[in-house]
Amino acid sequence: STKPEPMPIKKLSENVINKIAAGEIIQRPASALKELIENCLDAAATSIRVTVKDGGLKLLQIQDNGSGIRKADLPILAERFTTSKLSTFSDLSKISTYGFRGEALASMSHVAHLTVITKTKADGCAWKASYSDGALVDSKTGQKVDPRPCAGNDGTTITIEDLFYNTPTRLAAIRSPSEEYARILDVVTKYAIHNPHVAFLCKKSGSSSPELSTPSSSNIANAIKLLYGNSVAKELLDCDVHSGPAGRGQKSAGGQDRLDDEAMDIDEDEDAQASFDKPRSWMAKAYFTNPNYQAKKFVFLLFINHRLVESARMKRAMEAAYQTIMPKGASPFMYLSLQIDPRAVDVNVHPTKREVHFLNEEDITDQIADAVQEKLAEKGQSRAYEYHQ
Ligand code: ADP
Ligand code: MG
């Protein structure tokens, strides 16, 4: 047989490279939204409003009251690898913001029509800019153009229109706008629970009644009640676990059984969060249902260093903690927030940052599962005691 002639190796054009990268980061409307919400939180917003049309395919708009973007930064805003959050590689090991790669807005400009309206406190008016393929353009003519002054409040509004208009295979893979809207609501719900000091709103374009609306200055337990209902909230337990002096897990005293606003106030945790003086130190806070609550599917909200992530290992371990006390086929609800010394976490495994790896993963997981199990057992005993009295 004759061997084929080798083909010449050529460098891909910038545009092709950027489209491929964009496809990795923006898989669907909900993944775009996750990046946008994280940007709002990085900008210290206390109000985040999401408006959606056709499951986010036609329109995905997110308005915040955060820091805004400096007008001078607008020309490079949607270029790849432009960020205000990271400058040296070693910064990565102490990163405390969600973003750091400067790829999200760039990606969006490659697979959608992106428009930004933003105003900082110092600005006299807001500025509006539209982007295509990383660069500023006029949204109507497609020609290069400078940002335009316009009316607007402090903060930033980002509008994504016609997502995947130029990547038909990606568009075809998305089954239904209502499924996409459900995913969007799920992302907003989870971030709203983890950030109860921020008011979240999510609605369909043209509708006057939002599907989701939370107040600011709430707490996690109340947010769970508001968004997952009283059936979950009335059966909630909680526990705190953290690394001890020798690196062993310890349970905090004062974990309470009942829904108690004071005891569950997130602010307590936030104060404690900031410094990790000992390397490898960690702390976890969990809210989870007792066996009275039985769902068909395990609802597991996992935040590692405030980032919504997935971990099959942690999920399995938490489910296993319920194995002996729940009937087969019944599942609990659990919210788990784990904070680890940033030096022990590698957030850079994947562009979507959805998967994170950290040191002592197995050990930490076991210690949290043990604490959950212990709390469940305590609860079980006090029930049995009440019953026999
Ligand atoms: P990254 O978050 O990794 O820095 P992004 O592409 O998500 O990259 O955003 C690029 C930059 O745009 C950010 O570093 C930030 O300075 C700015 N930015 C994006 N969204 C907002 C927002 N909602 N409010 C203020 N600044 C923002
Ligand atoms: Mg970002």
Q: Supply the residue whose CA is at minimum distance from atom 9 of ligand 1.
A: 102
Ligand 1 pocket: which residues have CB below 6 Å?
35, 39-40, 43, 64, 66-69, 77, 83-85, 99-106, 156
CB 203 within 8 A of CB 209: yes
Q: How far is the CA of 102 from the centre of ligand 2 (A)?
A: 6
Helix, strand, coil % in the chain, rounded to nearest 5? 35, 25, 40
Q: What are phi and psi of 124, to 5 degrees?
A: -80, -25
> Which ligand 1 atom is nearest residue 107's CA?
6
Q: How far apart are CA 375 and CA 357, in angstroms?
A: 27
Query: Of residues 351 and 328, which shows the higher confidence score?
Result: 328
Q: Which H or E run contains 368?
A: helix 361-388
Q: How far apart are CA 358 and CA 364, in angstroms?
A: 10
Q: How far is the CA of 321 from the centre of ligand 2 (A)?
A: 35
Q: How far apart are CA 262 and CA 206, in angstroms?
A: 39
Q: Supply the residue whose CA is at minimum distance from atom 19 of ligand 1.
A: 39
Q: What is the ipTM of this complex?
A: 0.98
pLDDT in tens, 265-314: 333 344 344 455 566 789 999 999 999 999 999 999 999 989 898 888 89
3-state secondary structure of 56: helix
Q: How far apart are CA 211 and CA 38, in angstroms?
A: 20
pTM for the model = 0.86
Q: How far is the CA of 321 from the centre of ligand 1 (A)?
A: 39
Q: Which H or E run contains 340?
A: strand 333-340
CB 352 within 8 A of CB 31: yes
Per-residue confidence (pLDDT) for residue 277, from 0 to 100: 57
Task: Map 128-180 to HEC letters.
Answer: EEEEECCEEECCCCCCCCCCEEECCCCEEEEEEECCCCCCHHHHHHCCCHHHH
Query: Of residues 205 and 309, which shows the higher confidence score?
Result: 205
Closest ligand (CA of 38): 2
Among 49, 67, 83, the mutation site with the greatest number of ligand 1 atoms within 8 A of its Cβ is 83
Give just the sign of the alpha carbon dihedral 14, 20, 24, 28. positive
Q: Which amino acid is at 306?
A: H
pLDDT in tens, 52-64: 999 999 999 999 9
Give just the sign of the alpha carbon dihedral 101, 106, 110, 113. positive
Per-residue confidence (pLDDT) for residue 341, from 0 to 100: 83
List the one residue out of 305, 223, 322 whose CA is nearest residue 264: 223
Q: How far is the CA of 36 from the centre of ligand 1 (A)?
A: 8
- Over the chain, what is the mean pLDDT? 86
List the one residue out of 160, 384, 196, 155 whose CA is nearest residue 306: 196
Q: How far is the CA of 83 from the centre of ligand 1 (A)?
A: 6
Q: Which amino acid is at 269?
A: D
Q: Supply the residue whose CA is at minimum distance from atom 21 of ligand 1.
A: 39
Closest ligand (CA of 105): 1
Query: Of residues 309 and 367, which shows the higher confidence score?
Result: 367
pLDDT in tens, 155-183: 999 999 999 999 988 899 898 999 999 99
Domains and CATH numbers, the chain: 14-184 (3.30.565.10), 229-388 (3.30.230.10)
Instruction: Give the pLDDT band of residue 258 (cuts 50, 70, 90).
Output: very low
Among 39, 67, 105, 111, the mutation site with the greatest number of ligand 1 atoms within 8 A of its Cβ is 39
Query: Of residues 340 and 357, which shows the higher confidence score?
Result: 340
- Tell me the β-bridge partners of 155: 119
